[in-house]
């Protein structure tokens, strides 16, 4: 017997991959998750993990020519677990969409007009939005009757004041080409800042939080009373912190210098700054585990890469402290932020005058739970909050389509 449908399928479609999770918003639990990769190649692979009922992880290999075939294969795997996409218990499908421009400030039910608008934003997100649209079109063709929702990486940042969102360049040129700071990772910043408030026993509206999302891509945000007032990524995800393969902030003159002096094309500079810079450009590795291992062995290049990474991070903590005026918590999240204790220790070291400190024992604890790692005497909490973008997309999708979330894990 089925009651109100409570399941939400979350799709994160890349150009050659689809990540998915099926969640039950009745209890916030995960039913299944998986990944299709190398779509369009002969060596495509689907890895599917049922998360309830004790089934084992399953894999398929062999050509999956396009996103339609990928989603069909996902549907088959889900159906094999009794979780088919034709089930009346499926309430909606939530899609991660990277760029929502200024138009999409909230999660949005997708119709043809919304698809057209996401398409119109392709020039500012040439890598991501077309891939997101492939997933949307495929899922809509499969279940045209089902509400499908776009949840935008940029949406949380649309509350930034103009003073933070505008670059100081000619206004007419900027407006003609929609050049401004949009910010990304917004779903994570939204989830983590809310979960941090909960960890402190407060409402989101009562606290000011600096969120440091440190994954392979990395961004910081300043969140005042639940609303983003500044973030480190800009027109594209290239701006801001040192990342796995992205430079983050550089003097924009570096680009025309490379063009004039090294004869590089715009596309070559794009690849250099997005794919061959950051930690990988500095020391050849972008995995923080490997960098720490090399530092322990006395590797100076790895040590310098780490120092540059930390120096930039510290600058953003200081900048966002100044932007917020009063800070209740500095929160670390994503792969590096959740796991790399030495990064947290080094980023906060020396900031005692700002009321910031890390307790070595608490920092060393490994856990999947949100936790405070500052000593009891510290004026400002330092915390680790594991991010959960899929749960946040599912929650926003479910609420927008009329579902009421009764209990979710952390937020």
Task: Compare residues 105 and 339 and give the one whose CB is closer to ligand ADP.
Answer: 339
Closer Cβ to ligand ADP, 302 or 327, answer by number: 302
CB of 8 to ligand ADP, least distance (A): 20
- Confirm or deny that 289 is annotated as ligand binding: yes
Nearest residue (beta carbon) to ligand ADP? 335
319 Cβ contact partners less than 8 Å away, ≥ 6 residues apart:
230
**Annotated binding-site residue? 28:** no
* 263 conformational bin, left if phi > 0, alpha if psi -120 to 50, beta if neither: left
Tell me how far apart the alpha carbons of residues 281 and 213 are, in angstroms, rounded to a whole number.
20
Residues in touch with ligand ADP (CB under 6 A): 215-217, 244, 286-289, 334-336, 339-340
Measured from the CB of residue 408, what is the shortest distance to ligand ADP in angstroms? 20
Cα dist from 40 to 4, 45, 112, 142, 275, whole Å:
37, 11, 26, 20, 22
Separation of alpha carbons 91 and 338, rounded Å: 32
Is residue 338 marked as binding?
A: yes
Q: Whose Cβ is closer to ligand ADP: residue 216's or residue 274's?
A: 216
Phi, psi of 263 (to 5 degrees): 65, 25
- Catalytic choice (27, 42, 66, 153): 153
Closest CA to 248 of 210, 284, 220: 220
Q: Is 336 annotated as a binding residue?
A: yes
In contact, 382 and 357? CB cutoff 8 Å? yes
Has 19 been labeled as part of a binding site?
yes
Nearer to ligand ADP, 85 or 394 (CB): 394
Smallest gap from Cβ 185 to ligand ADP, in A, equals 9
Is 234 labeled as ligand-binding?
Answer: no
**CB within 8 A of 313, min separation 6: which ones?**
212, 214, 220, 241, 242, 343, 347
Shortest distance (Å) from residue 323 CB to ligand ADP: 24
Is 112 annotated as belonging to a binding site? no
- The nearest distance, CB 291 to ligand ADP, in angstroms, is 8
Write out the two tokens for 248.
């983050």
What minimum distance in Å lies between the beta carbon of 217 and ligand ADP? 5
Q: How far is CA 403 from CA 29, 87, 336, 380, 406, in A?
A: 15, 17, 34, 36, 9
- Examine the residue annotation and report whether 153 is marked as an active-site residue of this protein: yes
CA atoms within 13 A on the CB side of 238: 19
Return the residue matching tokens 């990474």. Answer: 309
Q: Strand, helix or coil at 45?
A: strand
Question: In sequence order, what E strands does 284-402 have?
Answer: 329-333, 371-372, 381-384
d(CA 193, CA 344): 17
Number of H helices and E strands in the chain, helices first, is 15, 14
CB atoms within 10 A of CB 2: 8
Compute the least distance from the CB of residue 5 to ligand ADP, in Å.
Answer: 29
Alpha helices, H only, 234-366: 253-262, 266-275, 278-283, 288-296, 300-324, 334-339, 341-348, 360-364
100 or 244: whose CB is closer to ligand ADP? 244
Binding residue per annotation — 94? no
Beta bridge partners of 18: 13, 36
Question: Is the distance from CB of 216 to CB of 245 less than 8 angstroms?
Answer: yes
Q: Is 287 annotated as a binding residue?
A: yes
* Residue among 217 and 403 whose Cβ is closer to ligand ADP: 217
> Closer CB to ligand ADP, residue 366 or residue 407?
366
User: Residue 263 and residue 279: Cα distance in Å, rounded?
Assistant: 24
| Binding site as annotated, residues for substrate | 96
| Binding site as annotated, residues for ATP | 19, 213-217, 287-289, 335-339
| Binding site as annotated, residues | 12, 19, 96, 213-217, 287-289, 335-339, 389
Which are the catalytic amino acids?
A: 153
């Amino acid at each position: 017997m089925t009651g109100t449908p409570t399941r939400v399928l979350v799709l994160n479609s890349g150009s050659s991959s689809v990540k998915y999770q099926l969640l039950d918003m009745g209890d916030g639990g995960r039913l299944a998750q998986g990944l299709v990769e190398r779509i369009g190649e002969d060596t495509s692979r689907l890895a599917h993990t049922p998360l309830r009922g004790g089934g084992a992880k399953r894999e398929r290999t062999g050509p999956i020519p396009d996103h339609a075939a990928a989603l069909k294969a996902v549907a088959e795997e889900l159906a094999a677990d009794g979780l088919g996409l034709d089930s009346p218990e499926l309430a909606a499908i939530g899609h991660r969409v990277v760029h929502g421009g200024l138009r999409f400030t909230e999660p949005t039910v997708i119709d043809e007009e919304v698809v057209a608008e996401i398409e119109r934003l392709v020039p500012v997100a040439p890598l991501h939005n077309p891939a997101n649209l492939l997933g949307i079109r495929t899922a809509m063709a499969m279940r045209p009757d089902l509400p499908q929702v776009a949840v935008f990486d940029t949406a949380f940042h649309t509350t930034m004041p103009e003073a933070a969102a505008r670059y100081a360049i000619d206004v007419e040129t900027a407006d003609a080409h929609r050049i401004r700071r949009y910010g990304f990772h917004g779903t994570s910043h939204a989830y983590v800042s809310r979960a941090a408030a909960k960890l402190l026993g407060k409402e989101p509206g009562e606290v000011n939080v600096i969120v440091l999302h440190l994954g392979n891509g990395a961004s910081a945000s300043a969140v005042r009373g639940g609303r983003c007032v500044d973030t480190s990524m800009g027109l594209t995800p290239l701006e801001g912190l040192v990342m796995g393969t992205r430079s983050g902030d550089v003097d924009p003159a570096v680009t025309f210098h490379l063009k004039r002096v090294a004869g590089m094309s715009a596309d070559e500079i794009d690849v250099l700054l997005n794919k061959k810079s950051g930690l990988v450009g500095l020391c050849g590795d972008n995995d923080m585990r490997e960098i720490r291992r090399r530092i322990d062995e006395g590797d100076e290049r790895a040590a310098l890469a780490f120092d540059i990474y930390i120096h930039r991070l510290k600058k953003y903590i200081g900048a966002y402290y100044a932007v917020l005026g009063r800070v209740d918590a500095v929160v670390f999240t994503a792969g590096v932020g959740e796991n790399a204790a030495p990064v947290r220790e080094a980023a906060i070291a020396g900031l005692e005058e700002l009321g910031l400190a890390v307790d070595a024992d608490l920092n060393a604890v490994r856990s999947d739970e949100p936790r405070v790692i500052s000593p009891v005497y510290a004026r400002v909490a330092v915390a680790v909050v594991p991010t959960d973008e899929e749960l946040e997309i599912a929650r926003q999708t479910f609420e927008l389509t009329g579902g009421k979330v009764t209990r979710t894990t952390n937020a």
